[in-house]
Structure 1
Amino acid sequence: MCTETLIKIFNRDLNKLKIEIESYKNEKNLWVLKEGISNSAGNLCLHIVGNLNHFIGTEFGNTGYIRQRDLEFSLKNVSRTILIKQINEVSLIVTKTLKTLTPNDLQKEYSRRVFEDKMTTEFFLTHLATHLSYHLGQINYHRRVLDL
């Protein structure tokens, strides 16, 4: 998989994330939990942004971002405007960083042991794209349940 494909997938899904966040009829619903749903859309959005800032921005782009993962799930009532701003910023970081990676970089063994098996950088970046997609689907479901 080439970096251009990864860039397209990340940008596609980050744009869909913005649309989902903007589509909530009532901004307060971004932070509402319903029975059986353990994370609000707002917290999932913060988690996606934090995850990409950390793993792509810091680890591959040397941005210096310091992740505070606990806050991704404990912060509440961050405005929609700030969430959209953070999505836009991480989208630029992802694009800029991935453009610097060569095909050789993608085939290198990823330096951290995230899973039990060794993996290439390409595999890990693909994992990050599917992680984003997974949470995007949760946000879509959350919005549809609350905006009935």
Structure 2
Amino acid sequence: MNTEFYTQLYKRDIVRVTEELKKYPDDQSLWEVLPGTANSGGNLLQHLIGNLKTFIGNPFGQLDYERNRDAEFNDRLFTKEELIVEFDQLSTVIGDAISTVTAQGLNAAYPAEIKLVNEEQTVEYVLIHLLAHLSYHTGQINYHRRYFTTLKESV
């Protein structure tokens, strides 16, 4: 695969997350934790921002971002509107960062000191892993959001 495909896939999925975010009825519902779950939609959104900026934006886009993973899951760092702005910017940041990776760069080793997914990991391997991570949390966010816009309304 070439980096253009990765750029397209990440931008597509970040737009999907943003669309889910915009459908939340209000700030309060974004931060509620559903029974039987551990995280609110807001915390998952903050987690995706930290994850993508740290593991793609920093090494490939020279983004100067310092992650606070604990805050992603324990604090309200953004309002709904601020999250929308963050994800709009994130789409550009991640797309630009991935576009700096050459075809040969995809086969290069991804530094274990940044993220260790697999002992023999390449940049491409980590990009696939992070895309699956983004997709997984997008599904969780979709379920969380639908609770407030569909399921809760019918109760």
Please give the range of the TM-score, normalised by the shorter of the 2 chains: over 0.9
Moved over 3 A (4+): none
Q: TM-score, normalised by structure 1?
A: 0.94
Deviations, residues 54-83 of structure 1 (Å, cap 9, x unaligned): 111112221111111111111127311100
Aligned counterparts of 2:62 and 2:101: Cα–Cα separation in 1: 13
> RMSD over aligned Cα, in angstroms?
1.3
Alpha-carbon distance change, 124 to 77 in structure 1, aligned in 2, over 3 angstroms: closer
**2:54 corresponding residue in structure 1:** 54
Aligned counterparts of 2:36 and 2:107: Cα–Cα separation in 1: 40
- Deviation, structure 1 residue 143: 1.1
Any conservation in 1 of the 2:47–2:69 contact (CA below 8 Å)?
A: yes
Any conservation in 2 of the 1:31–1:77 contact (CA below 8 Å)?
A: no
Q: Tell me which of 125, 128, 132 is aligned to 2:127.
A: 125
**1:138 corresponding residue in structure 2:** 140
Deviations, residues 84-125 of structure 1 (Å, cap 9, x unaligned): 111111111111111111011100111115134311100101
The size of the alignment, in residue pairs, is 148
Alpha-carbon distance change, 77 to 107 in structure 1, aligned in 2, over 3 angstroms: closer
Any conservation in 1 of the 2:3–2:99 contact (CA below 8 Å)?
A: yes
Any conservation in 1 of the 2:117–2:126 contact (CA below 8 Å)?
A: no
- Deviation, structure 1 residue 134: 0.3
Unaligned runs of 5+ residues in structure 2 are none
Aligned counterparts of 1:63 and 1:144: Cα–Cα separation in 2: 33
Which deviates further from its counterpart, 85-94 or 128-137?
Answer: 85-94
Identity, % of aligned positions: 38
Aligned counterparts of 1:116 and 1:105: Cα–Cα separation in 2: 17
**AA at the equivalent of 1:140:** N
Any conservation in 1 of the 2:31–2:40 contact (CA below 8 Å)?
A: yes
1:37 is paired with a residue whose SS is: coil
Unaligned runs of 5+ residues in structure 1 are none
